[in-house]
């Protein structure tokens, strides 16, 4: 909230005193932030795929040249990938806007952590395939969490995608769970490139990437972890990262446990 002062004038416009106005500008600041996020998204992220689509389409439209089928297919595949990228950016952007507006609309229900983890693994793109190992010791007997199944799966799938993406060896990922009185902690540990201490607390920031070249090659948006954080915090939980550079990272999400009291679920 801010206080602004303004002159009080009579009907002849002479200043006869001072007025004060209290305004809550959190909403305005929020809108400003959304706008500037959108601008950086459009100017940095959309430009590349749009320019490349334009180039390919112009090539395909050139009547005077005869392109062979294989070359045409190559261009069309490229266009398809660029469109997928734009779609991914728009979806991430929408998720973040909903999180900011506190309008993410969680559909919470009692969930088994093991079901969330198993469905997230099954959601991973098949092209990751080759040699990737994911080991989960998240078992069916863990206490229930109270969360939005789709959103929590999205978080775990995102952590797994990063664990595979930021890796220069054959990815070997371990998913474990731990509990305390209030939370179920799910940890995703990888054997990837790791994150140095100076970058570690910034990886949850929007558009933050440690190595822009790597991200471009592997197709990240720099928004994934910011979205994960938003989703987990909307659940009343938290997310953190630990890492040793060159030796892998561990991302842990803590999701509040819920217990059944009478006929409704209650936060412990
Ligand atoms: P991106 O779309 O770039 O992957 P994220 O928000 O998911 O965006 O991650 C932000 C940055 O954090 C990444 O660009 C990468 O540098 C770093 N990072 C995320 N997960 C890992 C990981 N498991 N191992 C190493 N670095 C990671």
Does residue 109 come out as left (phi exceeding 0), alpha (psi in the -120 to 50 range) or beta? beta
Q: What pLDDT is recorded for position 80?
A: 94
224 lines ligand 1 (CB under 6 A): yes
215 lines ligand 1 (CB under 6 A): yes
Quick one: which atom of ligand 1 is closest to the CA of 209?
14
Query: Ligand 1 centroid vs 110 CA: distance in angstroms?
Result: 30
**Can you tell me which residue has the tokens 């229900």?**
109
Does residue 246 come out as left (phi exceeding 0), alpha (psi in the -120 to 50 range) or beta? left
248 lines ligand 1 (CB under 6 A): no
- What pLDDT, in 10s, does the model give residues 6-20? 888 888 888 888 888
Is the CA virtual torsion 191, 193, 195, 196 positive or negative? positive
- What pLDDT, in 10s, does the model give residues 138-177? 999 999 999 999 999 999 999 999 999 999 999 999 999 9
- What pLDDT, in 10s, does the model give residues 208-236? 878 777 666 667 778 899 999 999 999 99
Give the residue, 39 or 83, on which the prediction is more confident. Answer: 83
255 - beta bridge partners?
184
193 lines ligand 1 (CB under 6 A): yes
Nearest CA to ligand 1 atom 12: 203
């Amino acid at each position: 909230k801010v206080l602004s002062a303004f002159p009080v004038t009579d009907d002849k416009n002479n200043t006869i005193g001072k007025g004060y106005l209290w305004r809550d500008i959190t909403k305005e600041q929020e809108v400003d932030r959304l706008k500037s996020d959108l601008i950086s998204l459009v100017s940095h992220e959309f430009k590349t795929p749009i320019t490349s689509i334009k180039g390919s389409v112009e090539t395909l439209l050139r009547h005077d040249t005869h392109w062979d089928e294989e070359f045409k297919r190559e261009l069309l595949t490229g266009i398809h990938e660029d469109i997928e990228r734009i779609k991914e950016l728009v979806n991430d952007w929408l998720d973040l806007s909903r999180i900011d507006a506190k309008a993410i609309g969680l559909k919470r229900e009692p969930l088994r952590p093991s079901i969330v983890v198993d469905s997230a693994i099954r959601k991973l793109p098949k092209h990751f395939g080759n040699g990737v190992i994911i080991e989960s010791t998240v078992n069916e007997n863990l206490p229930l969490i109270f969360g939005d199944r789709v959103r929590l799966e999205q978080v775990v799938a995102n952590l797994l995608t990063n664990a595979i993406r930021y890796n220069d060896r054959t990815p070997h990922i371990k998913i474990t769970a731990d509990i305390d009185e209030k939370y179920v902690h799910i940890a995703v540990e990888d054997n990837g490139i790791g994150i140095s201490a100076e970058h570690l607390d910034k990886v949850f920031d929007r558009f933050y990437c440690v190595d822009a070249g790597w991200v471009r090659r592997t197709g990240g948006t720099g928004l994934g972890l910011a979205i994960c954080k938003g989703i987990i915090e909307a659940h009343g939980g938290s997310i953190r990262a630990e890492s040793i550079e060159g030796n892998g990272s561990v991302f842990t999400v803590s999701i509040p446990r819920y217990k059944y009291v009478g006929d409704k679920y209650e936060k412990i």
